[in-house]
Amino acid sequence: MLLTPILAMLLAAVATHAQFTGVISPKVMIISMFEPEGQIWLDKFSYSGLGNLTSQAIATPGLSMLYPLVFCTQSGSVCQLTVGEGEINSAVSMTALVLSRSFNLTQTYFLLAGIAGVNPRHATIGSVAFARYAVQVALQYEIDSRSLPQDWPTGYIPYGRAHPFEYPCITYGTEVFELNANLRDAAHGFAQRAQLQDAQETRNYRLLYSEMGPPYHTAVMPPSVVKCDSATSDVYYTGGRLAQAFENTTSLWTNGTGKYCMSAQEDNATLEVLVRAAIEGLVDFSRVIAMRTGSNFDRPPPSRTDWEHLTHTNQNGFHIAIVNLYAAGIQVVRSILADWDCTFARGVTPNNYIGDIFGSLGGHPDFGFGSITGGRKLRAAESWGRRRGVNRNVVSLAGVEMARRRTFGAKGAMKM
């Protein structure tokens, strides 16, 4: 029987480290979403001089059946997990990770590293983007585009509203996450040292966007390292109307601060788990970095239809996106390890709000309707202890949110 490289690696790692005991305290945890994103780290990391990323393989209950192991260097300084594709897989795998007794993640930097669709207005295929915001853009009502009023630009309508591009009056708490901007800036600077790859076929496809004029000038440029934000949607969308709608949603839901440039399927789910883990003191949410590389444009050039762009066009961006993911990411990992004692052990203090739309980690969000906790960090579950009956203090935040919804009328209260 022929073994794929990753299967052979998994079997060897399991055989070698089946008797793993002890707790690992990673300085960096790399989060990949599917096999090619993870495999590039396993293949290339040993050439970095930072150790062998397959020296330890820890089987962790609750991980994806496709990716049941967390890989770590012998020292435990760097680990890598592939969570699986889509919001559900990523949330379940991340929950298993943060609750695992095999790891102490209280000082760990999380590098969320995946490929993505790219907005040709702000970046190009092969570019590397570091996000301050992740926005769950498809968490809305949707009407079939064939049934819309003629002057409507999109069938997406925010919850509790009657028209597109209004702020939702019903919020679930996962719509927007804001990350540590100072850490994002540092990671962006480290990644600038990377030598990004390109390909002639990709250059040729980029040139088709020159017909779209100055707003799309970035599309025809070589890959670069940029600072712009990520949209999360389980639906793999493509096309000018959808992309523009979600670009507008990103701006609106971040009060004009967010700049949509990468489309992905997992970031908001992963970040929600990390917020909840931070409430419990299991992780430090100020130590999260969201990095995406563009593998394909999210909308076609003028010479292609949406359908042709999705199904009949090879943009030749997948390979360079994977290669550049590692090229930029290893610079971030290397820099964190090199400056651990002087800077990163104590953390990079944010000067912006960090957390979710509810204010769960304390402070006041600069988007949404403000903190539902009064600016206070939520108490860890352990601090409540075991109590008989219903404790009204525990459930009061649900009441706060429902009362806020009722201020918008029956539609807000009933979610219809």
Token duo for residue 163: 């028209």
For 329, the 3-state DSSP assignment is helix
Inter-residue contact 226 to 128 (CB < 8 Å) = yes
Return the percentage of the chain with pLDDT > 90, whole number: 82
Is residue 415's pLDDT more than 90? Answer: no
Residue 87 backbone dihedrals phi, psi, to 5 degrees: -65, -40
How much is the pTM? 0.92
Is residue 379's pLDDT more than 70? Answer: yes
Is residue 242's pLDDT more than 50? Answer: yes
- Tokens 């009023």, located at residue: 149
Q: What is the mean pLDDT of the segment spanning 371-377?
A: 91
At residue 21 the predicted structure's pLDDT band, cuts being 50, 70 and 90, is low
Percent helix, strand, coil in the chain, to 5, is 40, 15, 45
Average pLDDT, the chain: 92
Is residue 241's pLDDT more than 70? Answer: yes
> Rounded to an integer, what distance in angstroms lies between the CA atom of residue 206 and that of residue 313?
12
Q: What is the mean pLDDT of the segment spanning 51-80?
A: 97
> Rounded to an integer, what distance in angstroms lies between the CA atom of residue 50 and that of residue 37?
19
Q: What is the pLDDT of residue 2?
A: 47
At residue 386 the predicted structure's pLDDT band, cuts being 50, 70 and 90, is low
| pLDDT tens digit sequence for 350-363 | 999 999 999 999 99
Amino acid identity of residue 179, one-letter, is L
Structural domains of the chain, with CATH: 24-139+174-385 (3.40.50.1580)
Q: What is the mean pLDDT of the segment spanning 22-34?
A: 97
Q: What is the mean pLDDT of the segment spanning 265-269?
A: 97
Q: Which residue has the higher pLDDT, 391 or 77?
A: 77
DSSP 109: E
Token duo for residue 117: 């669709």
Amino acid identity of residue 289, one-letter, is I
> Rounded to an integer, what distance in angstroms lies between the CA atom of residue 272 and that of residue 357?
11
User: CA 339, 340, 341, 342 torsion: positive or negative?
Assistant: positive
Q: What is the mean pLDDT of the segment spanning 85-97?
A: 98
Residues 6+ apart with CB under 8 A from 111: 28, 29, 30, 31, 289, 291, 329, 332, 333
Q: Name 113's bridge partners.
A: 291
Q: What is the pLDDT of residue 312?
A: 85
At residue 17 the predicted structure's pLDDT band, cuts being 50, 70 and 90, is very low
What is the 3 state secondary structure string of 254-313? CCCCCCEEEEECCHHHHHHHHHHHHHCCCCCHHHEEEEEEEEEECCCCCCCCHHHHHHCC
At residue 7 the predicted structure's pLDDT band, cuts being 50, 70 and 90, is low
Q: Which residue has the higher pLDDT, 298 or 398?
A: 298
At residue 389 the predicted structure's pLDDT band, cuts being 50, 70 and 90, is low
Q: What is the pLDDT of residue 19?
A: 44
Q: What is the pLDDT of residue 411?
A: 73
| pLDDT tens digit sequence for 146-185 | 999 989 999 999 999 999 999 999 999 999 999 999 999 9
Inter-residue contact 69 to 57 (CB < 8 Å) = yes
For 227, the 3-state DSSP assignment is strand
Q: What is the pLDDT of residue 394?
A: 56
Inter-residue contact 32 to 79 (CB < 8 Å) = no
Is residue 143's pLDDT more than 80? Answer: yes
Q: What is the pLDDT of residue 381?
A: 80
Q: What is the pLDDT of residue 392?
A: 54
> Rounded to an integer, what distance in angstroms lies between the CA atom of residue 259 and that of residue 377?
27
Is residue 385's pLDDT more than 70? Answer: no
Q: What is the pLDDT of residue 407?
A: 84
